[in-house]
Amino acid sequence: MTNNKTNKRDKVDKLIDQFWKDGFLTLSRKYGKYLPEPKPIGQYDVDAVGKYKRKLAIGITITADDLNDNNLITKINFIAKGYPRLNNFLLTIFIGVPSDLFLKANMYLYQLENDVQPKIKLISVPSSK
């Protein structure tokens, strides 16, 4: 159990590193000591939330199981355009993908609607193995 939590923490840490590289200030994150956990967006859990001026960053990590689940497309579409509270921000969704599934995830994202695809930024995170 501890190893699994450590692995999830490493994945979220990698998302936060990317937030910083892109200039975002982290507002909330999972598995952190000093920041609160992010509130769910609709019914979907997110791993991190960041902000820079009028830009908002939402970070989620996915697994191989998520890539095989059709619910992931619904989740990303909802976060990207279906949640009214986020409409007055420029939104970027950082998706942490295990490095061994990066190519599969890249192809998977072509199923997203055309106006959602530019908001997505894939990040390679440590693999579960």
Asked if 61 and 12 touch (Cβ cutoff 8 Å), the reply is yes
Q: What CATH number belongs to 2-125?
A: 3.40.1350
Per-residue pLDDT of the chain (129 residues; tens, 9 = 90+): 457 766 888 889 999 999 999 999 999 999 988 999 999 888 889 999 999 988 999 999 998 888 888 888 888 888 887 666 666 778 899 999 998 999 988 888 888 888 888 889 999 987 765
Domain positions in the chain are 2-125
